[in-house]
Amino acid sequence: MFLFYKILLKIQSVYEQTLNKANVEMCKYKGMKVGKNLNTPDKVYFGTEPYLIEIGDNVNIAAGVRFVNHGGTTTMLRRIPGYEDARIFGRIKIGNNCTIAINSVITEHVEIGDNCILGANSVLSQSMPPNTVFAGNPAQFICIIEDYGDIILKNNPVYPRELEKDRKALDEFIKKNQPYKFKKAKRIR
């Protein structure tokens, strides 16, 4: 039965990867500009105007990320006399070597500089300077990329790096050796 489940999950994975690739290719056909090595392993929503999106080289975009390059709120506004011509459209630009974490939303008129990280579940409505980390709703500056890198290195999991060539061996090592270390709760008032 295990083999059946493994095959079934592999079929689902290949199917979803094919859909994701088709989604990106259709958006490119509609005018979205994409650099080299775009990684979108899961469903990303590029909005109804993908031609307003520009993505640089070596960009990772996680599952559930939404690009909002127009404002739907104007539909209601246009029914009010004097606002019939109200519209919101704007470009979104992502620089090189960026990571957009799971379920984030990027709104119109936003540019993300090179070497940036947008944290999970963030709503970005302002531009990010190069080499920064933003997170939250609304997304705010957290730190510069070097400070984030130092934090990651400080808490870096220790294992023989040659195991990265053998995922099964790496998983087994991590399962046996990862310490039971958890973040402390923040003070409750």
3-state secondary structure of 36: coil
Q: Residue 123 pairs with which residues in a beta bridge?
A: 105
Q: Which one, of 89, 57, 58, lies nearest residue 71 by Cα?
A: 89
**Residue range 46-52: mean pLDDT, rounded:** 94
Q: Give me 113's structure tokens.
A: 């500089």
| Stated pTM of the model | 0.86
Mean per-residue pLDDT over the chain, rounded:
93
User: Which helix (DSSP H) or strand (DSSP E) does residue 117 occupy?
Assistant: strand 117-118
Tokens 């039965």, residue located? 1
Q: What is the per-residue pLDDT for 22?
A: 93
- pLDDT category at 180 given cuts 50, 70, 90 is confident
d(CA 31, CA 33): 6
pLDDT at 186 over 90: no
Percent of the chain with pLDDT over 70: 100
3-state secondary structure of 113: coil
Percent of the chain with pLDDT over 90: 71
Tokens 């087994």, residue located? 172
Are 107 and 134 in contact, with CB atoms under 8 Å apart?
Answer: no
